[in-house]
Amino acid sequence: MTTEKILYTDGHKVTVTDSSFRVDNHLYRMDGIIRHNFTIIPPRRIPIVIILSLGVAFLILGVFDLVPTHLIHNLEIGSTIVSTRLLSLAFGTTMLIAGIAFMIIEKEKYGVRIITAEGEKDVVVSKKREYITMIDDALTRALEKWKF
């Protein structure tokens, strides 16, 4: 009986041995992995740009009082009447603040991508570069044994 040498484990979901790579409940045999890569996954910026653009557009509508009042009437909340200009300013400010917050929160991610006969797959993704680097290094050491 041969024992596998553990090259890396995070104690939870990732284990790299000299013959296999386990992520959660998926087991990848080293002889089935053609190649692996350290990947940088950029943040999704298009939704953030759309939110920021809507915020700026509504702010411009509110600041210059360009909201067509014949299409949209003032909103009555209880005994208070809220103008369309105020609504536009409030919505624009909210969208702008949300867009800035998402821009600050959304960071690039790092991943380990493996290439097998079945195709490419990002098997581990994290915001922690060091974590992914350790997994990538362990995979490199494990695959050295399988290269001819």
Asked if 13 and 54 sit in the same domain, the reply is no
Asked if 10 and 24 sit in the same domain, the reply is yes
Q: For residue range 49-65, what is the model confidence (pLDDT) as tens digits?
A: 999 999 999 999 999 98
**In whole angstroms, what is the distance from residue 33 CA to residue 123 CA?**
12
Predicted TM-score (pTM) of the model is 0.75
Q: In what order do the strands lie in the sheet with 119-126?
A: 33-41, 109-116, 119-126
**In whole angstroms, what is the distance from residue 135 CA to residue 142 CA?**
10
Domain count, the chain: 2
Q: For residue range 13-35, what is the model confidence (pLDDT) as tens digits?
A: 999 999 999 999 999 999 999 99
Asked if 118 and 140 sit in the same domain, the reply is yes
What is the extent of the structural domain holding 112?
6-34+108-144
Asked if 50 and 100 sit in the same domain, the reply is yes
Phi, psi of 120 (to 5 degrees): -100, 150
